[in-house]
């Protein structure tokens, strides 16, 4: 085992999983004076992937944590988000991200996933979070006044609260809920390359650009102060539809984008071809809290990626849980501990519905992006008619994170094709 710091007695909170959601919740709770221990199964903390979009509902929380300026130095604040048709490259609609920042008070940023993870890792170290690696959790149990986790090496740890932030394939989710992941039959390829490699490909360096096409889409934006360029290629896999296990292979990648415009086709050869990500989610569930074990992040609500809210929702989860703990701690009598059960009830009461909305909307947006034929033409006409400064489709998600159900804003009204 390789502890990053020495264990120091029984913690107030055990967090299982050292990804963005786990570290974000650990930091949020440590800021409230709690002793927090994070158990990560890998031999060192780190994140795999490339770019990540963080909307104002996330940068607002980073600002409260005092982490936003560090994120600005590592990321990029783009000028626009532009959606184009992947076949003919014509613009469909856009968001003015500078005006978006004025509306919501905080920026829309793009950042390398490992950079955001590193920001939270450093913050946790400064806050005194106990960061332990090479700890594989294999089981969870309820105890009187808390919960216990069992590790692969036969040892066990106990705390008044266990936060299961162990991802899409969560051990806690399997034990407590028992449902299966859901395949969309789509797969994602990623790449982050020096920007010089793509400067002559017709790219927009200062925008987030999404090309939507029949059964595929392509995303581009700059990272790391504009020195790096991120690309994501997503497509429906014929092999997956046929029930094959070896789906999403590079030959399918090339075939999926054969009909697309020049800028997209020029980007496809740069994609990493030794790894790809099958796009999976789970059906929303109503119960995230089981005794003193709380699901958080992808363990609770893994979305498809179309709304770029997966990591953000996990960060929001930790912020909401910590805020409810702080509220109860302030109200508790001197010398008494706050009521964890009340905090967990409040957390679940507001987060379940918000995240259900994001999960179901992400699925619907995936269908909308990938239309063909007459449906594609109708979609394009509706999008072109949208006013750039119409925020009816973003107010429900980019505004302040709700702490209670009555603070959750109304959703947008869908426009039928």
Q: What angle do CA 391, 297, 173 make, to 5 degrees?
A: 135
Q: What is the DSSP letter of 411?
A: P
- Looking from the CA of 295 toward its CB, the CA atoms found within 13 Å total 27
* Beta-strand pair 109-112/51-54: antiparallel
DSSP string, 34-72: --EEEE-SSSS-----SEEEE-HHHHHHHHHHT-HHHHH
* Beta-strand pair 13-16/161-164: parallel
For the question of residue 108 being annotated catalytic, the response is no
CA distance 17 to 23: 8
Rg for the chain, CA atoms, rounded:
22
* Percent composition of the chain: helix, strand, coil (DSSP 3-state, to 5): 40, 25, 35
Do residues 155 and 139 touch, judged by C-beta distance below 8 A? no
Selecting among 108, 211, 221, 398, the annotated active-site residue is 221
The helix/strand/coil state of 360 is helix
Provide the annotated active-site residues.
221
């Amino acid at each position: 085992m390789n502890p990053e710091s020495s264990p120091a007695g029984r913690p107030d909170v055990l967090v299982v999983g050292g990804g963005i959601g786990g570290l974000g919740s650990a930091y949020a709770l440590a800021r409230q004076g709690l002793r927090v221990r994070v158990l990560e199964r890998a031999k060192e903390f780190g994140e795999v992937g490339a770019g990540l979009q963080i909307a104002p509902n996330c940068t607002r929380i980073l600002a409260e944590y005092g982490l936003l300026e560090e994120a600005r130095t590592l990321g990029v604040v783009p000028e626009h988000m532009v959606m184009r048709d992947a076949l003919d490259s014509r613009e469909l609609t856009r968001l003015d991200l500078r005006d978006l920042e004025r509306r919501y008070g905080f920026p829309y940023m793009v950042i390398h996933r490992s950079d955001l993870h590193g920001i939270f890792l450093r913050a946790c170290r400064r806050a005194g979070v106990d960061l332990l690696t090479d700890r594989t959790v294999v089981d969870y149990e309820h105890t009187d006044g808390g919960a216990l986790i069992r590790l692969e090496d036969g040892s066990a740890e106990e705390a008044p609260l266990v936060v299961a932030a162990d991802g899409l394939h969560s051990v806690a989710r399997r034990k407590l809920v028992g449902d299966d992941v859901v395949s969309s039959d789509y797969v994602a390829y990623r790449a982050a390359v020096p920007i010089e490699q793509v400067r002559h490909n017709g790219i927009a360096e200062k925008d987030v650009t999404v090309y939507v096409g029949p059964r595929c889409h392509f995303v581009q934006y700059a990272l790391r102060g504009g020195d790096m360029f991120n690309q994501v290629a997503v497509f429906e896999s014929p092999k997956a539809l046929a029930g094959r296990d070896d789906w999403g292979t590079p030959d399918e990648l090339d075939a999926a984008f054969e009909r697309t415009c020049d800028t997209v086709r020029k980007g496809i050869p740069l994609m990493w071809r030794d790894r790809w990500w099958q796009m999976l989610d789970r059906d929303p569930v109503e119960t995230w809290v089981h005794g003193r074990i709380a699901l958080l992040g992808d363990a609770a609500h893994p979305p498809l990626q179309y709304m770029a809210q997966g990591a953000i929702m996990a960060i929001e989860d930790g912020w909401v849980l910590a805020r409810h703990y702080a509220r109860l701690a302030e109200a508790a009598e001197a010398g008494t501990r706050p009521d964890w059960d009340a905090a967990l009830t409040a957390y679940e009461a507001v987060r379940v519905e918000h995240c259900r909305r994001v999960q179901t909307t992400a699925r619907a947006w995936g269908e909308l992006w990938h239309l063909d034929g007459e449906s594609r033409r109708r979609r394009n006409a509706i999008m072109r008619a949208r006013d750039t400064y119409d925020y009816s489709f973003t107010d429900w998600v980019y505004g302040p994170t709700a702490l209670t159900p009555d603070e959750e804003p109304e959703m947008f009204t869908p426009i039928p094709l």
